[in-house]
Amino acid sequence: MSVAENRVATDKPSFFGYLVEFDNVDSLIHAAEKVRDAGYTNWDAHTPFPVHGMDRAMGIRYTKLPLVILGGGLTGLGGALLMQWWMNAVNYPYIISGKPFWSIPANIPVMFELTVLFSALTTVFGMLAFNKLPQWRHGVFSSARFARATDDRFFISVEATDPKFDAKKTADFLAGLGGSEVEALED
Amino acid sequence: MHHHGAGEDNWVLGGAADGVFRIGLVIGILGLAASFFLGFGQGNVERFYSAWLVSFGFFLAMSLGALFFVLAQHLTGATWSVVVRRLAEAVSTNLGLMLIFFIPVALGLKTLYPWADPEVMAHDALLQSKQGFLNTNFFYIRTAIYFVVWIAASQYFFRRSVSQDETGSVGTTLGLEKTAAPVTLLFAVTTTFASFDYFMSLEPHWFSTMFGVYYFAGSLFSFFAFLPLMVIFAQSKGRAVHTITKEHFHDMGKWMFAFTVFWAYIGFSQYFLIWYANIPEETGWFYVRQNNGWATISWLMLIGHFIIPFFGLLPRWVKKTRMTLVVWAIWMLAMHWFDLFWLIVPNANPNGIPWHPLYLTCFLGIGGIYFATIALTLKNKSMIPAKDPRLPDSLAFENV
């Protein structure tokens, strides 16, 4: 189903949340700290480049991804050992260079390579999964101004699904952060 | 912002260096006296030279690692490392001291190296065919070349950097970047051949083209363990407390981890090809290290030098916490000592591990003087390259 059909099939555009624009990093960081301190959880900051200190300003906890990668790496390590044991010692025993059928030193290069491969693939796909990517559409793109998030503007978006969200109070709160006018987003 | 307060930091060790100098000097002199007494007074001459070479190799590696670090930072125009580069420069200048510590190696040449003994040479056709390279005169000529290159390079990079503390000249940085490239080539050749000469030729029948890289891997392994210890010591004395941050420690920790892996990669590569080909003239070297107690040290290398620190240094918080870095740095330095023990001692002692207090006293003797000299080098100089054009970037450095 194409994106256009999907939109028609569901219903009229629904309310997604609010967007507020800033023209420099410092005001964005200060605004983010206020949103964080107000207790919002379902919100995001959008910048054209990585901003140091943004994680802290947003109160984002450090990613769990490394633990998942460790699991991926150990799977590669064990899988490589198991595979070579089965192939060389069980399924097709074959004497190579006078070594025993199952010789761990000979298996180490493949164990190393599969550890690296599985870790790398887990990193990429784990990162995509944790970021809920790929997403074909997102509420912030209903704003025409948002194109400048990849150029020279900084944004904060707060989603309506946030437990603390209130159409009136949140709009007033965002308006007081020192950014542009608050814009309502559609999904 | 992270670098607030760095400007008010004290960057000169001064009195803190005096303490290290005095303690180092006392331990060093006592260690050397004990070594000479145990070695020559009590007739353990062979053990003395063996133990001396282990600790000589240990501290030589650390200074060579430091020199390579300095060269690599200039080559790449690195910013993060500017705050710790002066410490590395000071460690590298100890290559001059290592030339003095080479004298006992020269005195023990016949005891240590079979090829230097005319008796052995006369009855060994294989060694006679290598005599064009493995002879005393050429050995000393090569040693002279190594130390001229090392001392000149380390002094040049140290002194230029210190002169920049006054001038603030950007040209100094640009000049060192250019010089670093050819010097790195010289470093690679001299370090490789020095490891062949001092350590591989202990068993002159054996050869491995991987050996030079193995010694190089260990040298950076030990230097990266030593670097955070120096910083933490200086900070415990209130120096550079806000200058060198958690972010810099994180990067030093990454290097410790990286060279744990690199060392294992190189060590296994050397073992693997010899194991696979299974040719007696190559396997003999490992055979000695797998029998009569030496297997214990071989396992210690695999497990203690690689597997344990690999998992120990894997988590991010470990690399960002000073206390955990101290623990792993000391662990790594101990492992590196055993690495050199494993590299140097077995061939002359194939029947068992010759534990002897000389291995400790030589380490304390050379080490005490080594640390005292570093303290003396740094005492009145800024421990941070104060006017390096990349210093502001280094102060503000953050891992993304």
Whether A120 and A137 map to the same domain: the answer is no
Asked, for residue A139, whether it belongs to a domain, the answer is yes
Residue B314: its chain A contacts at CB < 8 A? 70
Whether A115 and A30 map to the same domain: the answer is no
Whether A88 and A100 map to the same domain: the answer is yes
Whether A116 and A142 map to the same domain: the answer is no
Chain B CB within 8 Å of residue A62 CB: yes
Is the ipTM beyond the 0.90 threshold? Answer: no
Q: Are B122 and B265 in contact (CB under 8 A)?
A: no
Q: Which of A62, A70, A98 sits opposite B278 (nearest CB)?
A: A98
Q: What is the pLDDT of residue A5?
A: 47
**pLDDT at residue A137 above 90?**
no
Whether A75 and A40 map to the same domain: the answer is no
Q: pLDDT digits over B339-354, tens only?
A: 999 999 999 999 999 9
Determine the 3-state secondary structure of A65 from DSSP. helix
Q: What mean pLDDT, rounded, does chain A reach?
A: 91
Nearest CA in chain A to B397: A52
Residue B268: its chain A contacts at CB < 8 A? 108
In whole angstroms, what is the distance from residue B312 CA to residue B307 CA?
8
Residue B316: its chain A contacts at CB < 8 A? 62, 66
Whether A42 and A78 map to the same domain: the answer is no
Chain A CB within 8 Å of residue B276 CB: yes
Domain map (residue ranges) of chain B: 6-395
Whether A140 and A180 map to the same domain: the answer is yes
In whole angstroms, what is the distance from residue B400 CA to residue B397 CA?
9
Q: Which domain holds residue A164?
A: 12-61+132-186
Residue A108: its chain B contacts at CB < 8 A? 268, 272
Domain end among A85, A113, A130: A130
Record the tokens describing residue B33, joined without a space.
């006296």
Q: Which of A62, A97, A112 sits opposite B276 (nearest CB)?
A: A97
Q: What is the pLDDT of residue B355?
A: 96
In whole angstroms, what is the distance from residue B296 CA to residue B352 CA?
11
Which residue is listed with tokens 């198991």? A82
Whether A115 and A149 map to the same domain: the answer is no
Q: Are A51 and A29 in contact (CB under 8 A)?
A: yes
* N-terminal to C-terminal alpha carbon distance within chain A: 17
Rounded to a whole number of angstroms, the CA Rg of chain A reads 25
Number of domains in chain A: 2
Asked, for residue A2, whether it belongs to a domain, the answer is no
Record the tokens describing residue A92, joined without a space.
């097709």
**What CATH number should be reported for the domain holding residue A43?**
3.30.70
Nearest CA in chain B to A55: B400
Residues 135-154 of A with CB under 8 A from B: none
Chain A CB within 8 Å of residue B279 CB: no
Strands (E), B199-349: none
The CA-atom distances, in angstroms, between A170 and each of A36, A149, A175, A183, B164 are: 13, 22, 8, 12, 55
Q: pLDDT digits over B24-59, tens only?
A: 999 999 999 999 999 999 999 999 999 999 999 999
Q: Are B60 and B374 in contact (CB under 8 A)?
A: no
The CA-atom distances, in angstroms, between A149 and each of A48, A59, A135, B59, B342 are: 5, 21, 17, 53, 58
Q: How many CB pairs under 8 A join A and B?
A: 21
Contact B276 A66 (CB under 8 A): no
The CA-atom distances, in angstroms, between A101 and each of A6, A87, A114, B181, B365 are: 57, 10, 21, 48, 50
pTM beyond 0.80, yes or no? yes
Q: Of B276, B286, B395, which to mutate for an interface test with A (greatest number of A Cβ within 10 Å)?
A: B276
Whether A97 and A126 map to the same domain: the answer is yes
Instruction: Tell me the HSE value of A128 on the side-chain side, using a 13 A CA sphere.
Output: 8
Asked, for residue A1, whether it belongs to a domain, the answer is no
In whole angstroms, what is the distance from residue B85 CA to residue B227 CA?
10
Tens-binned pLDDT, residue by residue, of chain B (400 aa)? 444 567 789 999 999 999 999 999 999 999 999 999 999 999 999 999 999 999 999 999 999 999 999 999 999 999 999 999 999 999 999 999 999 999 999 999 999 999 999 999 999 999 999 999 999 999 999 999 999 999 999 999 999 999 999 999 999 999 999 999 999 999 999 999 999 999 999 999 999 999 999 999 999 999 999 999 999 999 999 999 999 999 999 999 999 999 999 999 999 999 999 999 999 999 999 999 999 999 999 999 999 999 999 999 999 999 999 999 999 999 999 999 999 999 999 999 999 999 999 999 999 999 999 999 999 999 999 999 999 999 999 999 988 6
